Amino acid sequence: MKKVKIGVVGVGHLGEIHVKLLKEIKEAELIGVYDIDIERSKKVASEYDCKYFKSLEEIFSEVNAISCCVPTLSHFEIGKKVLLSGKHLFLEKPIATKITEAKILKNISEKKNLIFQIGHIERFNPAIKAIKNLIKEPLFIESERLSLYSERGTDVDVILDLMIHDIDIVFYLTNMKAKVIDAVGVPVLTDKIDIANARVKLENNGIVSFSASRVSREKYRKIRFFQKDMYISVNYAERNVEVYVKKGNAILPYKVNVPEGNPLLEELRLFINSIISKKKPPVGADDAIRALDFALKIKRKIYQNLKKVKLV
């Protein structure tokens, strides 16, 4: 079987993990890495026994696919270069910071008939996979995603950095249709929004509450679904599930088996398989644009409310 020749662009913390996992995928042949920090490229290439490249043009000349892990603000610039060069692209979330840019990337990939997958990793979380078929029509959804402060990811606000994970999951599980969006947030440790909460009223009168913070003292990532006679709680980080159902006058636990799995390894393997089979990737540009559009609506609402109290 002919392997997919792939390179990794951007080998910081996450990019190095991509390198490690791509080495484990038998259908992929990791050719090498490129990072603007050449010394970092050399170090990673040496550790994982692959080439390092001094420019994008060099790496493009030897691969037919790229896994891109550059900072969010560079997604459009680098993503566009990758696609215009005719290479299949796995791009970490979010797809871009602007809808116009995201649509340009989508259009290039379609015109060139390229596989273009976005790294919305929580879809592949074993706990989410375990409860997917249990979600019917939630009356209330509550997501909380708290992280310790880190310089990584602070090129954008917490909505695009963290909250967008949960926005994509709610769309994935419920096809959310918003009627009213209200949101608040503030900058704390950066000049961007670091903590945010959005409350969404749905067309079916259901409610979704999104909370995200990167100024927490602990890592906490949960999402809860309340629907007729059933409560479902997912711990993303620990990959476990709690489900309770009402039977008569009793509230009883409902056993759910959570499969084993590495979400990032699975999504990278599916990207490679999409290239080989020439089938659509599991998370394409349309899904990513939908999540980005909703995240930007929340962001705009936050800034509108900040202006009302003259904080910006």
Is pLDDT above 80 for 308?
no
Q: Note whether 301 and 156 are same-domain residues.
A: yes
Domain count, the chain: 2
Q: Note whether 108 and 250 are same-domain residues.
A: no
Residue 155: its pLDDT value, please? 92
Domain around 103: 4-121+263-282
Structure token digits, residue 152: 């990584």
Is pLDDT above 90 for 154?
no
Residue 46 domain flag:
yes
Measured distance CA(300)–CA(312) in Å, rounded = 12
Q: Note whether 128 and 232 are same-domain residues.
A: yes
Residue 55 domain flag:
yes
CATH number of the domain within which 300 lies: 3.30.360.10
Q: Note whether 201 and 188 are same-domain residues.
A: yes
Q: What is the mean pLDDT of residues 117-141?
A: 97
Q: What is the mean pLDDT of residues 165-191?
A: 95
Q: Note whether 159 and 88 are same-domain residues.
A: no
Q: Note whether 245 and 173 are same-domain residues.
A: yes
Q: Note whether 37 and 131 are same-domain residues.
A: no
Residue 309: its pLDDT value, please? 61
Residue 290 domain flag:
no
Nearest to 94, CA basis, from 283, 234, 300, 224: 283
Q: Note whether 251 and 269 are same-domain residues.
A: no
Q: Is the omega angle on the peptide bond into residue 259 within 30 degrees of 0, that is, cis?
A: no
Is pLDDT above 70 for 312?
no
Q: Note whether 301 and 176 are same-domain residues.
A: yes
Torsion of CA 257, 283, 265, 279, to 10 degrees: 110
Of 158-162, 168-172, 216-220, 283-287, which gets the smallest average pLDDT?
216-220
